[in-house]
Structure 1
Amino acid sequence: MKKKEIRPKRSTRKDLQYQHLAAQSANRAPVVVYLSNGTRLQGIVLATDNYMVLLGRRLDDPQPTIVYKQAICLVTPLDTPVVGIDPAIAAEFVPIYIPRTRKGR
């Protein structure tokens, strides 16, 4: 009889993402959200679910912004600079957004 191999549960990417966004939501610290199309949003993470992040300018913001998690590339605290981007070059750099096309199946 073959012995069944037991593996420890690995933390998935979604679990790590959930923990990070939950910590940002609990801290109520200002964050910078970089989107895949090059947009940079600043605000406070008010709430999250499986698909979206609610981002507001203040805790009592009457019109917060809903951002799809699929569009988010990076979430950093407001006071943390992004390493690897020269500020002089970043001011002139305009990213080109090329939408993905669906391939025929």
Structure 2
Amino acid sequence: MAHYRASESKREQFRRYLEKSGVLDTLTSVLAALCEETDKPNNALDFIKLHLGAAGPEPAEAEALRTEMADLQQKFNLLMEENKELRNRLVQYEPSPDNETAE
């Protein structure tokens, strides 16, 4: 009998923890949203993941984002190199601060 009360106490502590951290409210609202759906989704777990924010981008979308990021990184590197070259060329045409004070 004591074992039953100990585990019941642990369950009650865990329940309070979930309630205090907002997990119960969040789960309740997601399940309520699922209940209110007129067209129930084929996969309820995907619906829950999506509404909890656990579902990441689709693999095709993630691959497209990776490709776009690689392209943008390459463009960035080219622009940085061009900027460096233009700065070096600009230095050739600007008078140095030493020449201005000597005049």
**TM-score clears 0.5:** no
Q: Which protein, 1 or 2, shows the higher relative CO under an 8 Å CA cutoff with sep ≥ 6?
A: 1
TM-score by length of 1: 0.21
Considering fraction of residues, name the structure with more helix. 2
Over alpha carbons, which structure has the higher Rg? 2
TM-score by length of 2: 0.21
